Chains A and B, each alone.
Chain A
Amino acid sequence: GAVVSQHPSWVICKSGTSVKIECRSLDFQATTMFWYRQFPKQSLMLMATSNEGSKATYEQGVEKDKFLINHASLTLSTLTVTSAHPEDSSFYICSARDQLNREAEKLFFGSGTQLSVL
């Protein structure tokens, strides 16, 4: 079945460095992908909606200069956490919808990326 691949699954980095997370739709095209953040024992918070070929739409309170989103193709969106700090440590999850099928079950989630900033 359709799969969303998210990479890496976990990353440890030093404070001040940048980290890139990739989200790929493997066998379907996705004009729209979503990036979520999840703190321990908390819910998923929508960070931004990634739109292929145009700028991402960020939710209120999310710094667009800190969380750079690029959606250059119909199968790939990237989230770059710039100048990461320990408070950015979190679980990041992407999701993508099969653009050819609007049905509810055609939204797929990646397996998530655990980011730890030292």
Chain B
Amino acid sequence: GEDVEQSLFLSVREGDSSVINCTYTDSSSTYLYWYKQEPGAGLQLLTYIFSNMDMKQDQRLTVLLNKKDKHLSLRIADTQTGDSAIYFCAEEGYSSASKIIFGSGTRLSIRP
């Protein structure tokens, strides 16, 4: 079945860039997502990329997709303390009621 994998932890210094990586297995994925979850809260969609794109930039966020290697990354420029959270990579295949499969989440912590 489909699988999405991420590293569990990432620690970066405030002001540096954070890069969170993700790999997936479903070659029919159409959308790939990045969600942010703060403690005790639901999920906030940060950004997404369609499978025929290589890159998407949205302010401090840059998503890179290597479809051949099934590798997705999220770069957060100028990381701030408010960026501390768990970041989930997720993928969705194509159908009218596609389910989204989530990775294990990467806990991002910011060092002063």
Contacts and interface: CB of A to CB of B under 8 A. Distances in A.
Contacts of A97: 97
A44 interface: yes
A64 B78 CA distance: 46
Nearest to B30: A104
B100 interface: yes
B61 interface: no
Nearest to A48: B99
Contacts of A74: none
Given A93-B42, A111-B41, A44 B99 contact: no
A34 B104 CA distance: 18
A105 B48 CA distance: 8
Contact of A32 (B35, B92, B97, B103): B97
Interface residues of B, number: 23
Interface in B68-105: 88, 92, 96-97, 99-105
Question: Is the contact region of chain B dominated by helix, strand, or loop, or is it mixed?
Answer: strand
Question: Is the contact region of chain A dominated by helix, strand, or loop, or is it mixed?
Answer: strand
Interface residues of A, number: 25
B33 interface: yes
A46 B1 CA distance: 13
A34 B99 contact: yes
A109 B43 contact: yes
A42 B104 contact: yes
Interface string A44-86: 1110010100000000000000000000000000000000000
A49 B101 CA distance: 12
A43 B88 contact: yes
A107 interface: yes
B45 interface: yes
B31 to A, nearest CB: 4
A97 B40 CA distance: 22
B99 A111 contact: no
15 contacts: A6-B42, A34-B100, A42-B104, A43-B102, A43-B103, A44-B43, A44-B88, A45-B102, A51-B97, A104-B50, A105-B48, A107-B45, A109-B35, A111-B42, A114-B40
